Amino acid sequence: MIKARTLAGVMLAGALFGSAQTTPELRVFFKDQVGLSDDQIAMIARGGAVAKVLPSQRPSEIVVFGAVFVNATPEEYVRFAFDLDRLRRLPSYLGVGRISDPPTLADLEGFALEPEDLRDLKTCKPGKCAVQLPTEAMQELQRSLDWSSGPGVASQVNDRIQRIALEVLRRYQAEGNSALGIYRDNSHPFDVDAELRSLLGRSEVLPVYLPALSRYVLDYPNTTLANVESSFYWERVSFGLKPTLRLNHVVAYRSAGPRGAAQVVAVKQLYASHYFQLALDITECIPDISPYGIKGFYLISLRGSTQQGLTGWKGTLLRRIVVGRIRSAQEKTLIAVKKELEERQ
């Protein structure tokens, strides 16, 4: 099993691979470090997708490992990761939009809350809110909106939400993680920047294998990184619970080393309206030939998040549901990505 000393350490464990890895070495990784069974390893070799929930340090942390063999090239996956038209066809995606450079309000058309969320916002206050918002944004909404304006209030709220998202994005591009604020939608304030630095700062894996990517994730925009492609987008997703709005920073990194080049795609969440206080997804492409002689690559995915409401006896019950749905969604997404890439061969 992977020793989950930190969420980030587990999430980024896949970064140890370079393109010259062989199937036997991957089998050792799958079996000894991830804890996959022989049947699961055989399923991956046959082209099936496997997703497994890994140990985490705290109940609020969820880490899901996933793997599938794809008959395509790593470069095609990187192009796929930046192709929003193709992302829209993946399971769980209800909407997605690209953020231009520089970002504009028009980029966020469609970035809108559900009717239930609009009703909940009316009574929101710091420490008690069904919608996840930075403290300043929550207070600004309460001060500035006319909640008695009838049907027109929905348009007002979504316009403000889009402006808040635009401001978060612009500040992040100028100041980095410190611009992401503190969530006070429940009784436990959550400082996104501090939590991300704590998790990644304790990682024993990333600084050894990909220190440049670690610095980029932590210190953007105050650091530079060669061989990197960076973009921003918003998405509306559903994992079986409430539809959730998310604002993301996606980075594709080509790392050259003694084992060859490794293609890595990292997706860092900047904001989510529900559940995900912090999320960081790492996907690595490992070129190889399957045991059946098929040339392609292993798509290794490690998705980690910190989520509210998963502690206490009620939270424990909810955690089982959430974890199961995230694992299932991860497996379905891997299958959909494989199908999308292989159909273009």
Does 6 have pLDDT greater than 60? no
- Examine residue 171 and state whether it is found in any structural domain, yes or no: no
pLDDT at 184: 55
Q: pTM of this prediction?
A: 0.84
pLDDT, tens digit (0-9, with 9 covering 90-100), for 20-70: 344 677 888 888 888 899 999 999 988 999 999 988 777 778 888 999 999
- Examine residue 51 and state whether it is found in any structural domain, yes or no: yes
Tokens of 168: 């978060």
pLDDT, tens digit (0-9, with 9 covering 90-100), for 226-244: 889 999 999 998 866 788 9
pLDDT, tens digit (0-9, with 9 covering 90-100), for 266-296: 899 998 888 778 888 888 888 887 777 778 9
- Examine residue 57 and state whether it is found in any structural domain, yes or no: yes
Q: Check residue 29 and report its DSSP letter.
A: I
- Examine residue 38 and state whether it is found in any structural domain, yes or no: yes
Q: Which residue has the higher pLDDT, 323 or 168?
A: 168
Do the Cβ atoms of 57 and 202 come closer than 8 Å? Answer: no
- Examine residue 280 and state whether it is found in any structural domain, yes or no: yes
d(CA 264, CA 19): 11
Domain of residue 38, residue span: 7-103+188-342
Surface-to-core class of residue 16, CB atoms within 10 Å of its CB (0-12 exposed, 13-18 middle, 19+ buried)? middle
Degrees (nearest 5) of the Cα angle 153, 170, 156?
Answer: 5
**Cβ-based neighbours of 276, under 8 Å, separated by 6 or more:** 244, 246, 269, 305, 306, 307
Do the Cβ atoms of 8 and 304 come closer than 8 Å? Answer: yes
Which candidate, 69, 75, 17, 24, places its Cα nearest to that of 259? Answer: 17
pLDDT, tens digit (0-9, with 9 covering 90-100), for 60-96: 788 889 999 999 999 999 999 999 988 888 877 889 9
pLDDT at 345: 66
d(CA 84, CA 299): 19
pLDDT at 188: 64
- Examine residue 26 and state whether it is found in any structural domain, yes or no: yes
pLDDT, tens digit (0-9, with 9 covering 90-100), for 163-222: 989 999 999 999 998 888 666 555 566 677 767 765 564 333 332 356 777 788 888 999
pLDDT at 44: 93
Q: Number of structural domains, the chain?
A: 1
Q: Residue 304 belongs to a domain with what CATH number?
A: 3.30.530.20
pLDDT at 205: 33
- Examine residue 175 and state whether it is found in any structural domain, yes or no: no
- Examine residue 181 and state whether it is found in any structural domain, yes or no: no
